[in-house]
Amino acid sequence: MDTIYENNLDQAILAKVKGDFFPDDSPIIVDESLEGQTVRDGRYVIGPWAGPGSDIHNLFHEMGHFADREIEALLEYPFNSWGYSFGRPWSIAGQSGFEPQTDQSVRREMNCWAYQVSLSRHYGCEQSTQDVVRSAVYLDAFMFYKMEEGRQLEYKDRNKFKLSIMADEVEKLTATTHTFSNFLLEWNKRIYALKKDTL
């Protein structure tokens, strides 16, 4: 069966976002055909695709990674995956991969989801926090995610319960440290550092 690709990118919202965050001289640009992040001609490039779908929320997520990534790491211009390590490398019988040791990558995604939610609310295209965190089950480190102390299992399905707790935590982040105004502050710090680095 062929994969069905869906382009649900709202061009009106994209135009507003580009006007607000991606001027011609920006060190980060949008490529509407790209999934994730790359570097091209000394500039960061991000895209709205994730798997078989393209939408504004995927773009907000990549913008969240940019605003959340340490400036020193951004100045190294990692080609993809924002330069993050995926865990301890392994190799068995000619196959290889990475094995996470902690829930650090899940926490990092939660920061980006919080910025994603804040951006979607700002631009009037909100999606529920529960929907945003749903993809956590595909993260290799999901099994290491530590819930808040003292929480009792409220569902028979432990993963469903963990996702509910994560959604609560992401919601708290959007109200405290990962608001739209904080996103704007962190985004501008990184833009300034990258522009200064190229002078």
Share of the chain above pLDDT 90, in %: 69
pLDDT for the residue 102: 78
Contacts from 75-81 at CB under 8 Å and sequence distance 24+?
Answer: 75/193, 75/194, 75/197, 77/39, 77/42, 77/44, 78/39, 79/38, 79/39, 80/36, 80/37, 80/38, 81/36, 81/37
The answer, yes or no, to whether residue 171 has pLDDT greater than 60, is yes
**Integer angstrom CA distances of residue 98 from 81, 102, 109, 176, 182:** 14, 12, 17, 33, 33
The answer, yes or no, to whether residue 178 has pLDDT greater than 60, is yes
Cβ-based neighbours of 96, under 8 Å, separated by 6 or more:
89, 90
pLDDT for the residue 3: 65
pLDDT for the residue 82: 94
Give per-residue pLDDT as tens, 80-118: 999 987 666 656 777 766 565 678 889 999 999 999 999
pLDDT for the residue 23: 97
Give per-residue pLDDT as tens, 47-75: 999 989 999 999 999 999 999 999 999 99
Interatomic CA distance for residues 156 and 69, integer angstroms: 36
- Which helix (H) or strand (E) segment holds residue 112: the answer is helix 104-122
The answer, yes or no, to whether residue 153 has pLDDT greater than 60, is no
Interatomic CA distance for residues 190 and 66, integer angstroms: 8
Instruction: State mean pLDDT over 188-196.
Output: 97
